[in-house]
Amino acid sequence: MPWSLAVCLVFFNWPTSTPLLQGSNLPVEERMDLWAAYRLASIHKTDTASLANFERAASDCCAGQPENNVAAGFFATAKLMQVESMTNLVEKLESFLQWKSELERSIALHPTDADLRLFRLSVQLHVPMLLAYSSDIEKDATFIWTALETGFWASDSLHETFIREIYTAFELPQSTLINEK
């Protein structure tokens, strides 16, 4: 890269990272342990140890980087996954609304973060329709499929396969084009 172009890119803060991490503050290398913990918690939804492990991994990530909004989104997702096992319906609803807001805040701050969009999709696919939290399913499914096709999760083939299995299980569109209705 010519020296003058490099200076311009630095001076104007041109985005040089992948668009799926643009504006993100959590590098892929730091996500891999979180991905593994998330997968186990997703697969073993009723196993409190798996859920606690994902929460602990997300909490550790947040503690090490208190200003990290993406890590906060991971933590909000861990808390949302634990809501399902709560028994008091009022506490369950309050907790769901609190952590849903935190996840949405993280997505608003980092709308191109593929993991946050995956987490929202996963939550929306599992919450009861009564909670009216399904408006972003198609948009997130399209965004995540693009991330898969461009290799966002290529550094972790287990995680990439796990995400593709979500598409199969929920019969999500495997396309970057949204069908107009």
Distance CA 23, CA 4 (A): 24
Alpha-helix residue ranges (DSSP H) falling in the chain: 3-11, 28-43, 48-64, 69-83, 89-109, 114-126, 137-149, 157-169
pLDDT value of residue 58 = 93
pLDDT value of residue 55 = 95
DSSP 8-state secondary structure symbol assigned to residue 136: T
pLDDT value of residue 173 = 81
pLDDT in tens, the chain (181 residues): 443 333 333 333 333 334 454 445 678 888 999 999 999 999 999 899 999 999 999 999 888 787 788 899 999 999 999 998 999 999 999 999 999 999 999 999 999 999 999 999 999 999 999 999 999 999 999 999 999 999 999 999 999 999 999 999 999 987 765 544 3
pLDDT value of residue 177 = 56
Give the tokens for residue 55. Answer: 């929460």
The model's pLDDT over 43-94, given as tens digits with 9 standing for 90+, comes to 999 899 999 999 999 999 888 787 788 899 999 999 999 998 999 999 999 9
Distance CA 43, CA 181 (A): 33
CB atoms inside a 10 Å sphere around CB 19: 13
CB atoms inside a 10 Å sphere around CB 173: 13
pLDDT value of residue 26 = 76
At 173, give phi and psi (nearest 5°). Answer: -65, 130
